[in-house]
Structures are given as structure tokens and as C-alpha cells.
A and B are shown apart, each in its own frame.
Chain A
Amino acid sequence: MLWKNTQNELIKITSKIRSYIGIGALTVLILLVIFAMQADGKTYIGFVTSTFEQTLTFNGNILNGNLIAFIIMQMLIVHVPLLIVLVTGDLLSGELASGTIRMLATKPISRTGIVLSKWFAATIYTLIMTLWMGFLSLFVAHWIFGTGDLMVLNPDGLLILPSDDLLWRFGISMVLAFLALWTVATLSLAFSAFAKNSVGPIVITMAVIILFTIIGTLDVTVFDDLKFYLFTTHMATWRIVFEDPFPTEDILISALVLLGHVVGLLLLAIYRFNRKDINA
């Protein structure tokens, strides 16, 4: 029954226009970045190397597919969650708003089963979005810009990683980006279990992400201890995959924190939905 309802949820997702808004917007965003980089990428690189340009010269293909993919991921990690919650924030609350929840909840499937099947569908949608982002940013960028060493732009300096050391890093960063987006999707699903319309969970999820991100970036000592517990801090862990030496422990901790959030939020959604009176 769980799998059958997951199938249903996937049919619903694929039949809704809003599901394609995310993929369409993602595609446009990535192609825009690629176009912008093709048109004016050298100026962008100039911003980075200007500090050194009086002393050093940078030779080789700096503006390559790997750097473009890295820049795209850096830019999109803030925006892709919005595109994902457009769909996942609507999964439960949308049914409440439209009244279809009455039909669904009177079928021989448990409330837990309903939440789980929606969560599975959300997971698959998030996975597709992540893979699409990876495909566009990595493969299309490589196709246009070619390969080369990656110049990682860190606030405290540059790290150049050899091109043959990158594919596995991109692989792990995609896994971590997926974990981050999965957390956001599950968060919106949890909010969705509390709401009666889909606007609320979408707006609240984005507000939480923005608030946590701001707290995370504020250089105020008061928040230092808090930062570790904010999932947004760990949402950017995909980036430290491109550090040298490879910070295995930090990555594992962040992955566990994100997974913990996913499990915790899913349990919250299940608990809430099981106790919910459907008056709609």
C-alpha cells in the first residue's frame, strides 16, 4: 500500500505544473550563469585574481567547467530550496486546502503511510532536482568550458585542486547537497502537516532558512555555539568537500546532523498528521 500510494504521489507531482516550475527555473538559472560566464567570465575571474595580479600570473584554463559547476552550486544552494519547497510544502497542506485529503484519509492506508509515501515522493523529487542540477552544472558546463583544475574561491584565499582529483569530490558534494535539500523538503513537509493551505508552509520554510542563514553568517559571538545546531550551517557542507586536506570528520558530522534533521522532522510530521483532526 505504501508503494502504491507513493506511485500515486509521484503521479500527482508529475501532473502538477508547479513541479516543472522548479526544474524549469533551475534550468534557466543554470543556463543563465553559464551564458554569463561565457560572456564575461574573465572579468569574474579578474575579481578573484586582482589581489595577486601585480605579483603573479595565473596561466591555464581557469574558467573551466569545474569552476562553473562550483560557482553554480554556490549560487544555487540558496535558491534551489525555494524551488523544492514549492512542491514539497504543498504535499500535505495542498490536499487539506483542496479537500482531497478527505478522500485520501478514508482509504485503507494509515496516516503514517500517507506521510511516508508523500515523503518518499518528496525524496524522489529532491533527488531528481539534485541530479538535474548536477547534470546541468557539471556536464553542460564541461561541454561548453572544458575541464581543468578547480580554483576554489574561499574567503581566506584560493585553493587549486587538480582536475583529476575533482570528480569524486563533486560526487560527494552532490550527495551532501542532496542531504541539505532533503532536509529542507522534509522541513516543509513537517510544516505542511501543521497547515491548512500550502502558502504557509512554503513561506515559513523559506523564512526559517533565511533566518538561520543570517544567524549563521553573523559574526557575533553570542550565536557561535548556536551555529552548529542550525541545519543551514550544514547545508553548506558540500563546499568543504573542496577543501584540502579533505575534512572527513566535519563532513561526516554534518551529514549526520542533516540526516538527524530529516529523521526528526519526518517523525514530527508523522506524529502531527496522526493526531490531526481532518475538518477540511
Chain B
Amino acid sequence: MGLIEVKHLSKNFGSFNAVKDVSFQVNEGDVFGFLGPNGAGKSTTIRCLLSLIRPSGGEIKFFNKSLASHRLEVLAKIGCIIEKPDFYKYLSAQKNLELFARISGKNIEKKQVLEMLDFVGLAGREKDKVSGFSHGMKQRLGIAQTLLHDPEIIILDEPTTGLDPQGIIDVRNLILRLKNERNKTIMLSSHQLSEIEIIANRMVIINQGKTIVEGGVQELLDKQSLNVEITVDRPEVFEALMADKYPLLPVHRLYHSTYYITLETEERNQLTEVMVASGCGVRSIVPKRSLEDFFIKIISS
């Protein structure tokens, strides 16, 4: 059974169709990636899911119940951060959480609030006003707010946007902990395929307000070619190897000893072994999967 089922969702703002036809299903225990380029309709869809926006058409179900008719019941089981977590700046972190706890539909003790602040690494800052918090701290406070009432589903809209590299890692780890330790169903939107690839098990990709593809992350990615950036110690050996073994593969030299190659699925597993055996001195192989490329491939296929 899908915990979230979206069927043919559409939303018009006047004559502008922000979402035309989006359908997907999130299953229990999924870390579900909601992927699409900027302007694809991700935020609008997520706002529809959280009833911030009234859909123009289609159907949204949570726990097999229509959102339209069971709004409060559904929202009580959801934790979310939309866009960026905004708090009452003039209140402390603890006061903010207490405020949201009071209307979460559950009886949450002060102790639980403090524990949650500790969980997200804000212990000792609970009395500080949010106005003095960095973006990363607000993001962590946002996650605390999301988890406070122990929701069954967590919806995160671009949770790593604007964070520094360490912040991105922290959030990713936190999401994985939520899945593994707390067994939460998580839906997160992103415009970066690499991010979804790391943490999600299922995903949907939308573009121009329409669902393009939905399925398991590995399953979808495995079907596609992979762009890799390869840096070697001995470029002349590498070039000779490529000309000999893979004469049909387009190889672009980016810098002195760095190359950009597009590999088909069957070539991926062999290449590393062949390169090591050739003695070209492999320094790094970095997968470069861009959403745009992925789209082009999917659409063209």
C-alpha cells in the first residue's frame, strides 16, 4: 500500500499551469526522491501535498485517505520543511519548538523538546533567539520541529539548499538515521540527481509539471549511461588504451590528464579493471550524473 498516492495532480495559477499531470506513489519505509529541474513544479506539488495550495485537479491520498476530506488527521502524521525552515525570530529555539509542539496534535512534554534539540545538535543553544542562528542551525531546528511529534511521514523540500558542505553531509546523515533508526518514510525533493542517488531508494522525476519517470533509483540509473571524469597519471597510456579497447567511446580531454567519458551500462564494470591492468595510473574516477543529461536520455529513449 502506498503511504502517499498522487494521481494526475494539476494546479493552475490563473492561465499558468504550474503542475499539469503529476502521479507517483510513496511506499512505507521509502526514502523517496522527488526530482526535477528548477521550475518543474516540485514545490507546487509538495505544497499541494501539505494543503498549502488547493490543487486544481487530481487526487492526493495519504494512508489511503483523501487529503481533502481528512486534512487534519493526515497533517497530524506528517512532519515537513518547505523551502527553508522559517521560525519566529524573536523567540528562542525552545520556545519555537514548544509553540509548534502545542499544535502538533500530540501531548509533547518540555523534556521531549529538549531531547529533540539535543538530537539535532542544538543542545546548549535552546535559550538563544532564532534571529542569531545560521542557516544550518535553522535547518537543524527545522528538522527538530519536523520530528517533534514523531510523524510517520517526513516531507523535506530541498533540504540541503543553501547549506555548506558539512551541513549537507549532516543533513544526509540525519535522513539516513531517520530511515534506519526510526523507520520513517521520507520524501525529499531535489534538483540534484547525485543527492537523490546517495540517499533515496525510490524516486520520481518530473519536468514541466509532468511525471517523466518513477521507480527504484538503482533500477532507473542502471539502465542509463554514466558520465565519468577520469584522472590518470599517464595520459598517453590511457589514450592508447581507449583507442585500442573502446574505439567507439567518445573521450573528451578536459585538462592535462583528466578525461570525460560516457559509459554504457555493460562497459562500467570492466573499465576499472582494464584501466588498472593497463598501468595508466588511475588517480580518480568520479561519476558525473547530471539531471539534464538523464532527462535527455529518458526523453529520447
Question: Are B54 and A103 in contact (CB-based, < 8 A)?
Answer: no
Q: Would you call A279 and B47 a contact (CB within 8 A)? A: yes
Interface residues of A in 98-129 (CB under 8 A from B): 98-100, 102-110
Q: Does B252 contact A (CB under 8 A)?
A: no
Asked if A1 meets B80 with Cβ closer than 8 Å, knowing A103-B85, A106-B75, the reply is no
Measured CA separation A100–B89 after assembly (Å):
10
- Which bucket holds chain B's interface residue count? 20 to 34
A3 to B, closest residue via Cβ? B102
CA distance A16 to B95 in the complex (A): 13
Main secondary structure of the interface of A (DSSP, over half): helix
Tell me the count of chain A residues lying within 8 A, CB to CB, of chain B.
Answer: 26
B105 contacts A108, C-beta separation under 8 Å: yes
Q: How far is the CA of A17 from the CA of B91 in the complex (A)?
A: 11
Chain B residues with CB under 8 Å of A103's CB are: 85-87, 100, 145
Question: Does any Cβ of A come within 8 Å of B88's Cβ?
Answer: yes
**A1-21: contact bitstring with B at CB < 8 Å (1 yes, 0 no)?**
100110110011001110000
Tell whether, in the assembled complex, residue A106 and residue B145 are in contact, meaning their CB atoms are under 8 Å apart: no
Assess whether B78 is in contact with A106, with CB atoms less than 8 Å apart.
Answer: yes
List of A residues within 8 angstroms of B299 by Cβ: none
Contact of A107 (CB < 8 Å), options: B54, B83, B100: B100
Q: Is the interface of B mostly helix, strand, loop or mixed?
A: loop
Query: Which listed residue, A7, A8, A102, A110, touches B86 by the CB 8 Å rule?
Result: A102
Chain B residues closer than 8 Å to A107, beta-carbon distance:
75, 100, 103-105
Which chain A residue lies CB-closest to B43?
Answer: A279
Contacts of B99 in A (CB 8 A): 8, 11-12
A164 within 8 A of B: no
Q: How far is the CB of B44 from chain A (nearest CB, A)?
A: 8
Nearest residue (CB) in A for B82 is A102
Least CB distance, B268 to chain A, in whole angstroms: 42
Q: Is B246 an interface residue (CB 8 A)?
A: no
Interface centre among A98, A107, A279 (most CB of B within 10 A): A107
Which residues of the other chain, A, contact B95 by a CB distance below 8 angstroms? 11, 15
Residue of A nearest to B87 (CB): A100
Q: What is the CB-to-nearest-CB distance from A90 to chain B, in angstroms, rounded to a whole number?
A: 12
Cross-chain contact A275 with B85 (CB below 8 angstroms): no
For window 1-55 of A, CB contacts with B under 8 Å fall at 1, 4-5, 7-8, 11-12, 15-17
Choose among B52, B85, B90 the residue that contacts A105 (Cβ–Cβ < 8 A). B52
Chain B CB within 8 A of A249 CB? no
Contact of B80 among A4, A7, A98, A106 (CB under 8 A): A106
Interface membership of chain B positions 49-85, coded 1 if the CB is closer than 8 angstroms to chain A and 0 otherwise:
0111110000000000000000111011010101111
Please give me the residue from chain A that is nearest to B104 by CB atom.
A107
A245 to B100, CA, bound (A): 53
Task: Give min CB distance, B203 to chain A, whole Å.
Answer: 23
> Which residues of B lie under 8 Å from residue A106 when comparing CB positions?
50-52, 75, 78, 80, 82
Interchain Cβ contacts under 8 Å between A and B, 12 examples: A1-B103, A1-B105, A4-B102, A8-B102, A12-B88, A15-B95, A98-B88, A105-B52, A107-B105, A108-B73, A108-B75, A108-B104
Where the two chains meet, the residues of A that have a C-beta atom closer than 8 Å to any C-beta of B are 1, 4-5, 7-8, 11-12, 15-17, 98-100, 102-110, 275, 277-279
Known: A11-B99, A12-B88, A103-B145. 15 other contacts (CB 8 A): A4-B102, A4-B103, A11-B91, A99-B84, A100-B87, A103-B100, A106-B52, A106-B80, A106-B82, A108-B73, A108-B103, A109-B103, A278-B52, A279-B52, A279-B53
Closest 6 CB pairs of A and B: A99-B86, A108-B76, A278-B52, A108-B105, A108-B75, A277-B53
B contact residues vs A (CB 8 Å cutoff): 13, 47, 50-54, 71-73, 75-76, 78, 80, 82-91, 95, 99-100, 102-105, 145
